[in-house]
Amino acid sequence: MHRIVLIIFLAGAVIFGAWAAFEKTESTSDKEVNQAESGALINRLEKLNGSGILFGHQDDLAYGIGWKYQSGGKLDSDVKRLTGSFPAILGWDLGGIGTDKNLDGVLFQNMKDLIIRGDALGAINTLSWHPFLPNDATSSWDTKTKIVKELLPEGKYHQAFNDKLDEVAHFFSALKNKEGKPIAVIFRPWHEMNGSWFWWGAKHCSPEEFKGLFIYTVDYLRNIKGLNNLVIAYSPDRMFDDKASYLTWYPGDAYVDILGVDNYHDFTENGDGPEAVVNRLKLVVDIASAKGKIAAFTETGSDKLLDSSWYTQKLGKALYANDLTKKLAYVLVWRNRDKEHFYVPFEGHPAQQDFVEFTNRKDVLLLNDIKK
């Protein structure tokens, strides 16, 4: 009798031990795989940086001038129509998450499919977020209420904010490739915070509140929701002239992988001019390099391309102004809504040739240039 009890006990111990060891290796290797996801994208961006600057376009696969992606249909792209290649960087926006369409009319289901299809082709996806207020207002530009601190723990809308982040996390966790592995993407929340046009902007919260919001967002997605496929970008708008002003809203090295800048205005007549674009890019690269991080021109463009040589004469000259600016990992231009609002030219537009010339540069990288 005793022997039987002993045998059962020993057998149980062996099974438990094996199970515990299995559990351990499972979770250790899961963790390594997970860290590898965002890490691999960072490595890839760093590696590609030696060959040139990646070119990106917002909503590129979703719609363009005179066409719109149909679920499951053939891929199209205004960049490809002119150059023969999709862009290397695909920009998307999560504003409106929780409903069926984003703020610019892209069905989230299509966005998900297109991110997955783009990734399979070798492109890199970046997502910004123009969130709606989690109270009764419906847009990022609604600045009536100072709401940022109400989103943080103890705040009136904290639970509503968590619910929003759950929706964001749900979207990110659905980004899986054919092998079922999570797809790493660049996430660029709370952009242009040094302007005051968005409710998280400079006049609507203190830098400390802003940092709290940024840190909470990244912590929640990474630690509470367990997402390991996010490479995080920090991207103020153009209003900075030194390191301190650039870093006023910076949440800290632990929360940021890419240091960026959004700048449309300095290319226009009312802005500070092309030298200011270059100086600000240089500053971003300098700050990023000192931190061992990636630098990027996270948003720019010339709406309607009234200056038909904007790509070679303005953007190209700024990107390749000097050894610092050349270290930018990528540049993203905004969306092609229609003939009244677009940033990439279309067939027959006066800027067509210039755009093709710009993208033909050896150091401007489209998808065809970076395919694995």
**Looking at the annotation, which residues are catalytic?**
192, 299
Pick 158 or 337: Cβ nearer ligand BMA: 337
Fill in the per-residue mask, 80 to 99: x = in contact with ligand BMA (CB under 6 A), - = not in contact: -------------x------
Q: How far is the CB of 69 from ligand BMA (least distance, A)?
A: 17
Tell me the residue number closest to ligand BMA, measured at CB.
104
The answer to the question of residue 219 lying near ligand BMA (CB under 6 A) is: no
Q: How far is the CB of 128 from ligand BMA (least distance, A)?
A: 8
Q: How far is the CB of 138 from ligand BMA (least distance, A)?
A: 13
Q: How far is the CB of 369 from ligand BMA (least distance, A)?
A: 27
Pick 127 or 285: Cβ nearer ligand BMA: 127
Distance separating alpha carbons of residues 37 and 26, to the nearest angstrom: 17
Fill in the per-residue mask, 306 to 335: x = in contact with ligand BMA (CB under 6 A), - = not in contact: ----------------------------xx
The answer to the question of residue 192 lying near ligand BMA (CB under 6 A) is: no
The answer to the question of residue 104 lying near ligand BMA (CB under 6 A) is: yes
Pick 211 or 335: Cβ nearer ligand BMA: 335
The letter for the amino acid at 21 is A
Pick 332 or 367: Cβ nearer ligand BMA: 332
Beta partners for residue 300, in sequence order: 333
Q: How far is the CB of 237 from ligand BMA (least distance, A)?
A: 12
Q: How far is the CB of 240 from ligand BMA (least distance, A)?
A: 20
Pick 261 or 288: Cβ nearer ligand BMA: 261
Q: CA-based angle 333:339:345, to the nearest 5?
A: 45
Count of residues touching ligand BMA (by CB under 6 A): 7
Pick 86 or 129: Cβ nearer ligand BMA: 129
The answer to the question of residue 280 lying near ligand BMA (CB under 6 A) is: no
Distance separating alpha carbons of residues 182 and 169, to the nearest angstrom: 12
Q: How far is the CB of 219 from ligand BMA (least distance, A)?
A: 26
The answer to the question of residue 127 lying near ligand BMA (CB under 6 A) is: no
The answer to the question of residue 115 lying near ligand BMA (CB under 6 A) is: no
**What are the residues whose beta carbons fall under 8 Å from the beta carbon of 136, sequence distance 6 or more?**
none
The answer to the question of residue 103 lying near ligand BMA (CB under 6 A) is: yes
The answer to the question of residue 108 lying near ligand BMA (CB under 6 A) is: no
Pick 150 or 266: Cβ nearer ligand BMA: 266
The answer to the question of residue 222 lying near ligand BMA (CB under 6 A) is: no
Interacting residues toward ligand BMA by CB under 6 A: 93, 103-104, 130, 334-335, 337
